[in-house]
Structure 1
């Protein structure tokens, strides 16, 4: 049973909930800065990668590790990070994550060789795996009133969905006007400012009584996630690649054994009652599968704008601003106001359809279209942004609602794992589909410059069409599975177990 050192940080086991801490909104600003760091860093180095490769003498085969080292350690260690936050205290782990992330970023910016850069990115992912679930768990316990919770998760959802696009803009500006190293250096002062603001966050002591880390669960759960994320990152070699298939099989088997172990463990890494909840499961699917289309879109639009339309890195980043604005408006202003008045599925399912409509517009892309940005890219980004924003906010809120305070970190880790694995799957799956479609096109139409441009865009549109299908299927799943309303403030505050978990 968790215990806190401040009466406002968590709700006692009995009695009415105390009045909320008046500093909680400033605390949300601090958490938002940390979440922006985590999400932004997944894409900020993308545009800077060619410059970093040339500066450090990286080979084409090794350059992927600048991205993969981060996603592997981040996605693979989230379950451990969430559980450690429950054991040691969310604020304590949050602060340690900020310090480690800032130092790792400084190391990466000063890297004199590819190996040091890869190691720094891995350490960034490690500390992000502690930082992200601690941040989300803090919001879960700080905001229990439904209306305030909606506003708080609106901000968090906007940062989670739009941070990747902001990273592309920041990466373009820093690379073009300063140096690629500033894409890493910039994290350190932001982490320092957030660290200074941690006095605004509620103190908590973590789990009291006998506690120990579920080592078998940690090895199986993290090992399974690592295997799956790494398989996705290697899928560019083809889904029939022996290593890819082997890693996917290994990951599935490890996660299956992980489930069996957790059912028999007294202090599990991931309490299964947090998972076997219909509304929570549907929300996690909505988070994961919406990211498949979103991160695939980042990949294709980046190349379409820079290679096909010949945009500069800065102009490419600016071109993504409507998508970011749509996500912010959707999460903060639309979903944040509608969610307290309706069931989450009545918001999530239509929002997924709106995002699918935006993706459908992009299936009409061609290499030499006049006014393509105003005709297709702008309206598509607005629809996709509004849709994804209205998905992320209620899905994240629902996935963490009704969880016992001492299990908030585990639930938060699940949400972040869904987002991370979904994004990795999107990049790998859609890139493979796109490459295959382009190859087939060139076999039929030759390899002239015009054919290559047309074939490349054809590959993009085929992959985007698959994204449309994924979003529509996800809308159906969300409508069928997410059949609950977020609990009221007193119920959420007193919850010791998810109130709809089957026995």
Structure 2
């Protein structure tokens, strides 16, 4: 079935390419904002925890609260955007993101900060799939869309990579700037979006005004309960809170499943989860981003708490991953055109698996040169994975469901991030010592190495599946 094309402005045919690239600039700017926001927080966590009194075993909630809400509301956000209009949902979510980021910069208590992170995560959960839907609808299937998605992926990944550098520099001045800076960027993006984004048209949705709020809340509750249960049981095997949370997660997921079967407008349209490469892409995204966040979280603590590096030194070291900025917009589109998205993505998964495995050899005397091979390999991995993965997500999916499809993929990203950081925290502090030592960090770094290896296995399986469908 050919995808219906939607007019994105009042101009004639000659204006459409220009207007499409204007849409790209706005939505990629927002994706960059989300990436840089969470990456800066990763670097700033030690300073934040020390300043407002967060214990090491609780510090991860500054990240987890954000990514849990992000993951929980992502699919609902895509459904709402498809129903009510992607531009208006995108802009409304961007405004909330800006406002609560500013509140975070003024927070004085841990609970306020964690609440702020949950709200900004929920806002991002609406903003990302709305932006993804705007992008895939603005560009027709073919070379133009592949190029746009390569740029989208490159800039999104650069947010993660550049955020650690900016986070280190800003934290050195004042950790509150890592909240105020994203608020400022979000406000600028909001103004640009008001000018550049298309008006929402009836043709964008066949179900305008109808979306599954109950399903979204049930799914969010499921995700929050799972991670809370994992963390609590990890801290104490017999924890009644942990096991209760896991039981609640099972009940909520059962209720979500029943509700989806009975709903006239299910959160996830029937058959969407098995469309094209979407299930494979979602699994790879969960494992890859989960591995990256776990690795970055543990490595940041290792560099600053064990080796005594400053936040600035940590950020500058991570800047080596910026090789992604050179590769993604140039080499990646050429490779995907020649070999296909899945092949290029699998090469990236090989690179990240090797990179994470190399960090297992780090010791208490490690320096930048010891870390450099892993940083470069991770930069290559982001260049080869992020864009091709997002491009694969909508292969075989109807245009009217692109928002939900994007929501599913990015739900995997954020849920993976939350679980990755939580599991790494469990493994990191899982000893009887009050002070973490080298053995603890090495043990925790096994988590991202294993997750990356599993992602590689799924990538190979996706390649086999893609080849079979091509031959069929």
> TM-score normalised to the size of structure 1?
0.82
- In the alignment, which residue of structure 2 is the partner of 1:490? none
- In the alignment, which residue of structure 2 is the partner of 1:78? 74
Q: Distance in 1 between matches of 2:413 and 2:27?
A: 18
Q: Is structure 2 residue 458 aligned with structure 1 residue 474?
A: yes
How far did residue 146 of structure 1 move?
2.2
2:421 to 421, 427, 431: 427
Q: Is structure 2 residue 241 aligned with structure 1 residue 243?
A: yes
Q: Distance in 1 between matches of 2:21 and 2:350?
A: 32
C-alpha distance 53-352 of structure 1, shift in aligned 2 (>3 A): closer
Q: Write the deviation string for residues 317-359 of structure 1: whole angstroms up to 9, x where unpaired.
A: 1111122x24334533333222233333222223211221222
1:458 to 425, 442, 461: 442
2:398 to 389, 404, 424: 404
2:362 to 360, 365, 368: 365
C-alpha distance 275-465 of structure 1, shift in aligned 2 (>3 A): closer
Q: Write the deviation string for residues 37-76 of structure 1: whole angstroms up to 9, x where unpaired.
A: 2222223223333443454455667654433332232222
1:193 to 188, 192, 213: 188
Q: Do 2:158 and 2:324's aligned partners in 1 also have CA atoms closer than 8 Å?
A: yes
Q: Distance in 2 between matches of 1:435 and 1:418?
A: 26
How far did residue 302 of structure 1 move?
0.7
Q: Write the deviation string for residues 469-491 of structure 1: whole angstroms up to 9, x where unpaired.
A: 324433333333444889xxxxx
- In the alignment, which residue of structure 1 is the partner of 2:381? 387
Q: Do 2:168 and 2:315's aligned partners in 1 also have CA atoms closer than 8 Å?
A: yes
Q: Distance in 1 between matches of 2:208 and 2:41?
A: 43
The worse-fitting range, judged by mean Cα deviation, of 403-412 and 56-65 is: 56-65
- In the alignment, which residue of structure 2 is the partner of 1:180? 175
Q: Write the deviation string for residues 104-147 of structure 1: whole angstroms up to 9, x where unpaired.
A: 11112122443433332222122111111111111111122422
The count of corresponding residues between Structure 1 and Structure 2 is 464
Q: How does 1:267-346 map to 2 (within 5 A)?
A: 267-323=265-321, 325-346=322-343
Q: Distance in 2 between matches of 1:230 and 1:275?
A: 26
Q: Do 2:231 and 2:426's aligned partners in 1 also have CA atoms closer than 8 Å?
A: no
Q: Do 1:348 and 1:391's aligned partners in 2 also have CA atoms closer than 8 Å?
A: yes
Q: Distance in 2 between matches of 1:53 and 1:122?
A: 17
Q: Do 1:355 and 1:384's aligned partners in 2 also have CA atoms closer than 8 Å?
A: yes
C-alpha distance 482-163 of structure 1, shift in aligned 2 (>3 A): farther
How far did residue 239 of structure 1 move?
6.4
- In the alignment, which residue of structure 2 is the partner of 1:143? 139
> TM-score normalised to the size of structure 2?
0.87
Q: Write the deviation string for residues 153-186 of structure 1: whole angstroms up to 9, x where unpaired.
A: 2222223334233222222111212x22111111
After superposition, the CA RMSD in angstroms is 3.2
Q: Distance in 2 between matches of 1:60 and 1:301?
A: 14
How far did residue 425 of structure 1 move?
1.7
Q: Distance in 2 between matches of 1:183 and 1:228?
A: 28
Q: Do 2:346 and 2:460's aligned partners in 1 also have CA atoms closer than 8 Å?
A: yes
Q: Do 1:31 and 1:135's aligned partners in 2 also have CA atoms closer than 8 Å?
A: yes
- In the alignment, which residue of structure 2 is the partner of 1:413? 407
Q: Distance in 2 between matches of 1:113 and 1:332?
A: 42
C-alpha distance 363-57 of structure 1, shift in aligned 2 (>3 A): closer
Q: Distance in 1 between matches of 2:338 and 2:238?
A: 47
C-alpha distance 468-83 of structure 1, shift in aligned 2 (>3 A): closer
Q: Distance in 2 between matches of 1:238 and 1:386?
A: 38
Q: Is structure 2 residue 4 aligned with structure 1 residue 7?
A: no
- 5+ residue gaps in structure 1? 11-16, 487-499
The worse-fitting range, judged by mean Cα deviation, of 247-256 and 135-144 is: 247-256
What secondary structure is seen at the aligned counterpart in 1 of 2:175? coil
Relative to its length, the structure with more helix (as a share) is: 2
C-alpha distance 458-74 of structure 1, shift in aligned 2 (>3 A): closer
How far did residue 220 of structure 1 move?
2.6
C-alpha distance 467-120 of structure 1, shift in aligned 2 (>3 A): closer
Q: Is structure 2 residue 122 aligned with structure 1 residue 123?
A: no
Q: Do 1:362 and 1:464's aligned partners in 2 also have CA atoms closer than 8 Å?
A: no
C-alpha distance 341-265 of structure 1, shift in aligned 2 (>3 A): farther
Q: Do 2:32 and 2:156's aligned partners in 1 also have CA atoms closer than 8 Å?
A: yes
Q: Distance in 2 between matches of 1:224 and 1:212?
A: 23
What secondary structure is seen at the aligned counterpart in 2 of 1:311? coil
Q: Do 2:80 and 2:89's aligned partners in 1 also have CA atoms closer than 8 Å?
A: yes
Q: Distance in 1 between matches of 2:340 and 2:365?
A: 44
Q: Distance in 2 between matches of 1:266 and 1:53?
A: 46
- In the alignment, which residue of structure 2 is the partner of 1:495? none
Q: Distance in 1 between matches of 2:352 and 2:60?
A: 29
- In the alignment, which residue of structure 2 is the partner of 1:493? none
Q: Distance in 2 between matches of 1:118 and 1:460?
A: 24
Q: Distance in 2 between matches of 1:9 and 1:80?
A: 27
